[in-house]
């Protein structure tokens, strides 16, 4: 399969909310020994730094959140609720924390492999949530820090078809700063996570 061009550093080196909105429609590509999987980003959430109580970076850098303060265009992967990994994309300049959580993908390649990893058949069940998409793409804590901008990387973000209409809502699954409209999704997509808006 022919792959689109990789997003450059300048794409990530901007305010997090801007990057979050523009990540919609871009494509995430993953290559492993098992094969290729890819999906189009249809739902994201922005997490800021010191100003954002819902962010892992809120209390400054820790061993886990350190990467959010560093080089942009890398993956921040964390382990959650005992069984799932979630993938974020680091934004902003070095020293300023920011990341965009990838919440849902529209599968575009490697359907069989995604189904095998997920143990689910329906396309809507493969990547419709942050834990689900990490599982479908084979993303684990070992991918924490992976550079998404390098051709030789097995995890990359590339160009894609931009959405017709973008929806905005508060973030889900958080207990602090629940009023901020930091969730962006492709309106009408059957592949977004099934949470109330």
Partner DNA sequence: GTAGGGATACACT
Partner DNA sequence: GTGTATCCCTACT
Site residues, DNA (CB under 7 A): 45, 47, 54-57, 59, 62-65, 78-84, 86, 88, 99, 101, 118-120, 125, 129-133, 135, 141, 171-176, 193
Measured CA to CA, the distance from residue 95 to residue 165 in angstroms comes to 33
Q: Choose between 83 and 151: whose C-beta lies nearer to DNA.
A: 83
Least distance CB 125 / DNA (angstroms): 7
Q: Choose between 30 and 56: whose C-beta lies nearer to DNA.
A: 56
Q: Choose between 2 and 196: whose C-beta lies nearer to DNA.
A: 196
H/E run at residue 114: helix 111-118
Q: Choose between 31 and 125: whose C-beta lies nearer to DNA.
A: 125
Taking alpha carbons only, the member of 29, 25, 39 closest to residue 107 is: 39
3-state helix, strand, coil in the chain (%, to 5): 20, 30, 50
Least distance CB 5 / DNA (angstroms): 27
Which sign does the torsion angle of CA 128, 141, 119, 116 carry? positive
H/E run at residue 27: strand 27-32
Q: Choose between 25 and 170: whose C-beta lies nearer to DNA.
A: 170
Least distance CB 165 / DNA (angstroms): 23
Least distance CB 4 / DNA (angstroms): 25
Least distance CB 37 / DNA (angstroms): 16
- Residue 59, C-beta contacts closer than 8 angstroms, at least 6 positions apart: none
């Amino acid at each position: 399969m022919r792959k689109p061009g990789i997003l450059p550093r300048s794409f990530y080196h901007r305010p997090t909310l801007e990057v979050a909105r523009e990540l919609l429609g871009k494509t995430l590509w993953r290559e492993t020994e098992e094969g290729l999987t890819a999906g189009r980003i249809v739902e994201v959430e922005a997490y800021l730094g010191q100003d954002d109580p819902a962010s892992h970076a809120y209390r400054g850098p820790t061993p886990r959140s350190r990467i959010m303060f560093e080089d942009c265009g890398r993956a921040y992967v964390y382990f959650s609720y005992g069984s799932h990994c979630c993938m974020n994309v680091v934004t902003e300049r070095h020293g300023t924390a920011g990341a965009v959580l990838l919440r849902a993908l529209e599968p575009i390649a490697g359907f069989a492999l995604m189904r095998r990893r997920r143990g689910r058949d329906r396309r809507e069940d493969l990547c419709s949530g942050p834990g689900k998409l990490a599982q479908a793409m084979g993303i684990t804590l070992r991918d924490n820090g992976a550079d998404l901008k390098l051709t030789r990387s097995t995890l990359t973000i590339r160009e894609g078809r931009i959405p017709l209409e973008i929806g905005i809502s508060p973030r889900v699954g958080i207990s602090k700063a629940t009023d901020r409209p930091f969730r962006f999704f492709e309106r009408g997509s059957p592949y977004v996570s099934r949470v109330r808006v």
